[in-house]
Amino acid sequence: MNYYQFSTEDLAADDYFKEWVSSPGPETEAFWTAFLRDYPERYYQVEEARQLVTGLREIQHQPDPTGQVDAIWNRIEHTLDENRPLPVSPWWTGSRFWKVAAAVLLTLGVGWWGRQQLTKTDLTGPELSLANSEWIETLNEASQILRVQLADGSQVELQKGGRLRYRKEMAGTQREVYLTGEAFFDVKKNPKKPFVVYANGLVTKVLGTSFRIKAPANAPTVTVDVKTGRVSVYPNQPSRILDPESKGIVLTPNQKVVFQRDAATLDKVLVERPSLLISKKEMQRFVFEDASVDRVFTAIEKAYGIDIIFDEEVMQYCTLTMSIDNEDLFQKLDVICKVLDARYKLIDAQIVIYSKGCPKPI
């Protein structure tokens, strides 16, 4: 069974998962420990599902003076009645009950047990491989950005709803963090100890750079875009034969990768608004009058860190008069193509120019 694709509700409804939570044995303990070791970015789904199972069982045996529990069970029964006839076996013992109950609890926001327990370091029940006193978990519940300072000097800007898990002291051969949601990372350079971010099935590995990751918990995609330096990204699919990083790609500034979680595919594209990578002083030198397109395109490549591909022989007589300023890159390309009667495409984070060429000057 592919538990990697399971949501929190799916896990809470699964009999094998519930067996591990309720009465763990050597087999279930070994399986789920190995699962978390292979897929550490699924920690939050596993832990929240575990707390949901525990919380649902606990709620059944506790009085509820506010009447919320009765409302929950009524909602569950109503949902079951609407969807399909009740099964022959008692509905509260089947997997269907757990899935609907978990979904209703999450929808109504009454899963207080799971959320309260999730913030504690003294976890009850089966011990998860990532749950120990060395780890810190931060959840940004505010409307503004939350800035997190890591032990190695790296800084993280955590967006609203983002959750970050990291070690108090970044020991070991790698600096590892786990992200759900959106965050901007400014990583302290350390060539001897890579910085690794696990986010919804995607691994981002750097030595020292700045980049943004968007990894909503239940979204079908994860995106990473680079501001400075180089970033290696690859699916988190452990293999005994191949290095998982060999299946990945390298990103440079103004490039972005879109990771399709279901298919485990990576698509490299340009960011929506590429930014200039040169100083204002350097920009002053990029003023051209009747210059060859080769010179102009080379300048644009340097200014934005983007490859421009064109047929030098076909466009050998084409010239341009322009400057590299703060205008949008794509506005520049639109103007250039209009002047040269050309067109461009974005292919694999590169700009490809198509032109019929220019007449030879007399």
CATH number at residue 325: 3.55.50.30
**Per the domain annotation, does 107 fall within a domain?**
yes
Which domain, by its residues, includes 319? 280-354
Cα dihedral: 223, 226, 229, 232 (round 10) = 10
Is 314 domain-assigned?
A: yes
β-strand pairing of 175-186 with 195-199: parallel
Report the distance separating Cα 105 and Cα 56, nearest Å: 9
Residue whose token pair is 């032990």: 151
Among 42-46, 180-184, 260-264, the least confident range: 42-46
DSSP annotation of 3: G
Q: How confident is the model at residue 3, as a pLDDT?
A: 81
Q: Is residue 128 assigned to a domain? A: no
Q: Residue 361: CB partners within 8 Å, gap ≥ 6?
A: 317
Do the beta carbons of residue 321 and residue 288 sit within 8 Å? Answer: yes
Name the amino acid, one letter, at 191.
P
pLDDT, one tens digit per residue, over 185-211 is 999 999 889 999 999 889 999 988 999
| Same-domain pairing of 190 and 262 | yes
How many independent structural domains does the chain possess?
A: 3
Do 258 and 345 sit in the same domain of this protein?
no
Within this chain, do residues 253 and 298 fall inside the same structural domain, yes or no? no
Burial of 95 (0-12, 13-18, 19+ CB in 10 A): middle
For residues 258-286, give the mean pLDDT: 88
Tens digit of each residue's pLDDT (9 = 90 or more) over 83-121: 444 444 444 445 555 555 555 555 444 444 444 444 433
Q: Is 257 helix (H, G, I), strand (E, B) or coil?
A: strand
Mean pLDDT for the chain overall:
80
Does residue 234 form part of some domain?
yes
- Rounded to a whole number of angstroms, the distance between the first and last alpha carbons of the chain is 72
In contact, 288 and 296? CB cutoff 8 Å: yes
